[in-house]
């Protein structure tokens, strides 16, 4: 698929700081240690509705990872998928008597526009599930050949499933108990009660064609892919085993990222699939997780139509830590607009006190598991002083502006 256009990222004077991130698998903040090229895969949208602020928060968190790595002189090989065929998309299309292909294309196009407006740096490869079907089929065939995938005993629909114990490490990514896994599996697209499975937690790899459902011919028989194998194959084929960051919202910790990793590791025999599993918290509205199924959504496109500055949307979402579940409120956005206006006034001054120590603090905070609340506070302090006592350094407002642009993606 076509990715989206990039905005330039200015170089910022001073010393970059390496990036440490919380890893779900080990439960600790650890240094990322990319080579010259850092590899990142972030799970993309299922395009049946517009991008809401929860999605935006997740892509903005990983945009900061991207930017901090760039600041450290790494190239970034960023890959993102689009789940452009899956049950929720087909269900929405059926409900609205819409063509699922057209629905997916329309919402993906809107997503790209939202990402450009929010100045999210684009993935190098933006890959749809449909276009990846041949490579997904190849992955599934390898799992069958390795004896870790099997067909359910159903003559009508002999779907292919994955033996969750294939690697002997199942559970290492989420660290959840079997009971917790079973709960999330049922809640998040799994089918614990499917007759003929060897274990309730075995996951679907290939669904044989059903009447009225889209399907593709393949060596596995006419059908369509399961969800986890999609991201597993797309990531593995572009980034290889042991890439730096596998990312997404915390609702993907289980089952999605556990199985994506297990599918890949069972094929390659290599561990780990990703060196860090990084998860952003859930954005809520009115006390509940913002989600398409609940319908309690604030869309990025709606805020854009209301002429809300995308910089204010970024700052509203950066006001809380990326890992914390947090609420979106009108007050949060109002506060972000005010902060943006103050920073703009400070950046427009002809001269100010030095910004070097502030930029160092910004880098320190971002390097420390993307601590944006502390980073924003440091920038607030500089702006307040610049606007009150000020200073005579003419390059200071320019340095401040470049650092906010490059590291936070906010244009002043
Ligand atoms: N297509 C799959 C991933 S392969 C999917 O989960 N799509 S999605 O459209 O439901 O979500 C897209 C991304 O936004 C995922 O990373 C998901 O974890 C994240 N996300 C969804 N809802 C929220 C929310 N309320 N807050 C923060 N992130 C969210
Ligand atoms: Zn995914």
Whether the ω angle into residue 272 lies within 30 degrees of 0, i.e. cis, is yes
CB-count burial class (<10 Å; 0-12, 13-18, 19+) for 236: buried
Percent of the chain past pLDDT 70, that is, above it, reads 100
Chain segment 131-154, per-residue pLDDT in tens: 999 999 999 999 999 999 999 999
The ligand placed nearest to the CA atom of residue 52 is 1
44 alpha carbon – ligand 1 mean position (Å): 7
Chain segment 23-38, per-residue pLDDT in tens: 999 999 999 999 999 9
User: Do 266 and 148 touch, CB atoms closer than 8 A?
Assistant: yes
Please compute Rg for the chain using Cα positions.
Answer: 22
What pLDDT is attached to residue 148? Answer: 98
What pLDDT is attached to residue 285? Answer: 81
Residues 6+ apart with CB under 8 A from 234: 41, 79, 81, 127, 129, 132, 135, 136
Chain segment 60-92, per-residue pLDDT in tens: 999 999 999 999 999 999 999 999 999 999 999
The ligand placed nearest to the CA atom of residue 235 is 2
Q: How far apart are the first and last CA of the chain?
A: 32
- Under the banding of pLDDT at 50, 70 and 90, the label for residue 258 is very high
Chain segment 168-210, per-residue pLDDT in tens: 999 999 999 999 999 999 999 999 999 999 999 999 999 999 9
Tokens matching residue 30: 């650890």
Atom of ligand 1 nearest to the CA of 290: 25
Indicate whether 234 pLDDT > 90: yes
81 alpha carbon – ligand 2 mean position (Å): 7
Chain segment 298-328, per-residue pLDDT in tens: 999 999 999 999 999 999 999 999 999 999 9
59 alpha carbon – ligand 1 mean position (Å): 9
């Amino acid at each position: 698929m076509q990715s989206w256009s990039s905005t330039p990222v200015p170089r910022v004077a001073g010393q970059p700081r390496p990036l440490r991130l919380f890893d779900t698998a080990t439960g600790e903040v650890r240094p990322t240690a990319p080579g010259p090229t850092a590899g990142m895969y972030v799970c993309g949208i299922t395009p049946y509705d517009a991008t809401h602020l929860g999605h935006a928060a997740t892509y903005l968190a990983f945009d900061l990872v991207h930017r901090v790595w760039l600041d450290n002189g790494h190239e970034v090989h960023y890959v993102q998928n689009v789940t452009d065929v899956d049950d929720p998309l087909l269900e929405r299309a059926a409900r609205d008597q819409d063509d699922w292909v057209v629905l997916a294309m329309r919402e993906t196009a809107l997503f790209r526009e939202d990402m450009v407006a929010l100045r999210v740096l684009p993935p190098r490869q933006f890959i749809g599930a449909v276009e990846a079907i041949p490579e997904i089929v190849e992955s599934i065939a390898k799992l069958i050949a390795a004896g870790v995938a099997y067909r359910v005993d159903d003559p009508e629909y002999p779907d292919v499933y994955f033996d969750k114990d294939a690697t002997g490490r199942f559970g290492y990514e989420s660290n959840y108990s079997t009971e917790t896994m079973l709960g999330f599996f049922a809640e998040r697209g799994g089918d614990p009660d499917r007759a003929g499975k060897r274990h309730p937690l075995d996951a679907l790899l290939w669904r044989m064609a059903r009447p009225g459902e889209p399907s593709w011919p393949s060596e596995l028989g006419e059908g369509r892919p399961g969800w986890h194998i999609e991201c597993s194959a797309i990531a593995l084929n572009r980034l290889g085993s042991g890439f730096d960051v596998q990312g997404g919202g915390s609702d993907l910790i289980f089952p999605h990222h556990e199985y994506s990793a297990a599918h890949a590791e069972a094929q390659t025999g290599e561990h780990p699939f990703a060196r860090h599993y990084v998860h952003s918290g859930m954005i809520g509205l009115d006390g509940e997780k913002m989600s398409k199924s609940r319908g309690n959504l604030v869309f990025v496109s709606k805020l854009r139509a209301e002429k809300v500055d995308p910089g204010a949307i970024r700052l509203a979402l950066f006001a809380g830590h990326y890992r914390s579940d947090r609420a979106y409120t009108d007050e949060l956005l109002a506060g972000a607009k005010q902060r943006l206006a103050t920073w703009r006034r400070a950046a427009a001054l002809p001269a100010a006190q030095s910004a070097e120590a502030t930029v160092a603090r910004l880098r320190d905070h971002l390097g420390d598991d993307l601590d944006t609340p502390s980073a924003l506070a440091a920038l607030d302090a500089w702006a307040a002083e610049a606007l009150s006592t000020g200073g005579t350094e003419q390059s200071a407002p320019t340095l401040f502006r470049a650092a906010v642009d490059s590291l936070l993606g906010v244009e002043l």
